[in-house]
Structure 1
Amino acid sequence: MTRDVPDLFKTLAHGLGQIRSVSMLIGCIMAVAFVQPAMAICQLVADAPYRQLLPGEARVWNASLQAGEVQIRYIGHSTFELETPKGVRIATDYNDSVRPFLPPTVATMNGAHSTHYSLNPDPSIEHLLYGWNPDGGAMDHDMTVEDVRIRNIQTNIRGWDGETRRLGNSIFVFEIADLCIAHLGHLHHRLTKEDLTRLGQIDIVFAAVDNTSTLRLDSLMDVLESIGPAMVIPMHFHFAGALQAFTGRAAEAGYEIVRAENAKLIVSRASLPTKPTAYIMMPGGA
């Protein structure tokens, strides 16, 4: 049985309409799938948008991390390796003694002493960020590398002679996905109101807890209270009894004490603890 021509046109039009609807649905699904994850806004006003793609450029996402996740490895001393969803790897307090297994994309350094900076950095490191100016004066960083914004706040430091070295240390802040992570470096004094304003909201803090060459525990606990992070990850606890003394004080201050099973942590905003937590990681995440 043959159809009239008008009926055939109606059938074709209906089929095209269904195809158009399916195409629109697929387009919506693809649009949702490729929505860019939100950058963390640590400051009240933080200009940290994703870099716009160049014509013909595609984003390649690391399959091991979801868009809102950050991987943290504790390498040792004051060195952590942060990995972003796009595979950018950052080594903090990069030095010649304790390093990640692979050269990082970004390495930050501080000027306290040789376990916090490198005289022979790997030449394949794309961005080497000094926390102090070897020539004296300020050293300001504020840059976006793929899906992470990195900025610093300089603080003073004491030399081996006990004299103050102005701007010898930097607190580096990493804005990754929807998290703000601060590495306090070799901090030697309490933070000022201006420092805290520049820091903004911080979710995770890496803090030196040696109780000897950086801050004494009383001062450190005051600094942590003023910052108010959800999670504190201690570092620089090479002196005997330093870690135990810190965990004792942290417990007294109301922190939940969690001892990690290994030196790797994947964290997101959704997984942040609701109660302030001291998360104890042992070195060995290379």
Structure 2
Amino acid sequence: MIRFLLSSLLILIAASASAQDRRPSHCIAIADAAPGLKYLHRASYREPLPDYTVRLHYIAHASFLIQTQGGLNAVTDFTGFIGNTDLIPDVVTMNHAHDTHWTANPDPAIAHALKGWGAFGQGADHHLDLGEMLVRNVSTDIRSQFGGEETRGNSIFIFEVAGLCIGHLGHLHHEPNDAQYAAIGRLDVVMAPVDGGYTVPQATMIRILKRLKSSVVIPMHWFSDLGLRTFVDGMSESFDVIRVGGPSIEVSLATLPKRPTIFLLRPAWLRGRE
């Protein structure tokens, strides 16, 4: 009996150590929306957040502010300017297909400036655990100058926070392959470039988003209301559409819509007194 108990204890210890050595992702599991609860809503980026809630503020072009209830601030496709504000993000992510998606000189006060590329063709590998937020990436290819290609030159950044998986597709130039889809996992929220030319054709982006089956889709990287409307028309059979009328929404597992929904945000720079 004693030998059996000792053996069981050793198995439990080994299993615990193995679990701690893993780099787990919660994005593979599909999050079920709780029935009968409110949809997402707008709020100022200065206001405190409820528990288990994340705020998304569309700053400009492909830049979003992602805020946690505990006070972490992340900015995607960071260009060095987010508005007339004294806010210094804890983490910024960048891609370098164009200079509207990165800066060579991020503020040294930013603790974590994550490039979505590495040495030419080698890509990047990020797995940043900030306690309340985990930031990781999946590399994809981009078109380089003069018709070439840079393997692993773009990163899809994924933010795991408050039980949610939030993905930013960056400057995506091709549909992910099966291995990349598997690495991305289940995204509850996705920010998607819908310009239809500089990144991928709109038909390709629609196919990508239908496969991802995210509960919340936020279009970004659009250059005209006409182009945005064309994208929405192509998605309307499978997705509901909500015109938020402002730059921000709050989202939690409890408020995910039952049917996949496009949330149309109007970008706005951050301002210090908001």
Smaller-chain TM-score range?
A: 0.7 to 0.9
Match of 1:278 in 2: 262
- Displacement after TM superposition at 1:111 (Å): 1.3
Aligned equivalents of 1:118, 1:242: Cα separation in 2: 27
Q: 1:216/1:135 Cα in 2 relative to 1: closer, same or farther (>3 Å)?
A: closer
The 8 Å contact of residues 121 and 150 in structure 2, kept in 1 or not, is answered as: no
Match of 1:138 in 2: 123
- Displacement after TM superposition at 1:85 (Å): 1.3
Match of 1:262 in 2: 246
List structure 1 segments (4+ residues) > 4 angstroms apart after TM superposition. Answer: 97-100
Match of 1:122 in 2: 107
Q: 1:97/1:87 Cα in 2 relative to 1: closer, same or farther (>3 Å)?
A: closer
Match of 1:4 in 2: none
- Displacement after TM superposition at 1:164 (Å): 1.2
- Give yes or no for the alignment of 1:108 onto 2:93: yes
CA displacement 1:150-194 (0-9 Å, x = unmatched): 100000001242221111100000001111000000001111111
What RMSD in Å do the two structures reach over aligned CA positions? 2.0
Aligned pairs for 1:150-165 (under 5 A) are: 150-165=135-150
Q: 1:240/1:158 Cα in 2 relative to 1: closer, same or farther (>3 Å)?
A: farther
CA displacement 1:232-282 (0-9 Å, x = unmatched): 00000024622111111111x321111113111111111111111110000
Aligned pairs for 1:159-198 (under 5 A) are: 159-198=144-183
CA displacement 1:9-35 (0-9 Å, x = unmatched): xxxxxxxxxxxxxxxxxxxxxxxxxxx
Aligned equivalents of 1:278, 1:199: Cα separation in 2: 20
The 8 Å contact of residues 54 and 250 in structure 2, kept in 1 or not, is answered as: yes
Aligned equivalents of 2:80, 2:221: Cα separation in 1: 16
Q: What are the ranges of 5 or more consecutive residues in structure 1 without an aligned counterpart?
A: 1-38, 45-61
- Displacement after TM superposition at 1:146 (Å): 2.9
Match of 2:223 in 1: 238
Q: 1:136/1:189 Cα in 2 relative to 1: closer, same or farther (>3 Å)?
A: closer
Question: What is the percentage of aligned positions where both structures have the same residue?
Answer: 35
The 8 Å contact of residues 91 and 100 in structure 1, kept in 2 or not, is answered as: no
Q: Which of the pair has more CA radius of gyration? A: 1
More contact order relative to length (CA 8 Å, sep ≥ 6): 2
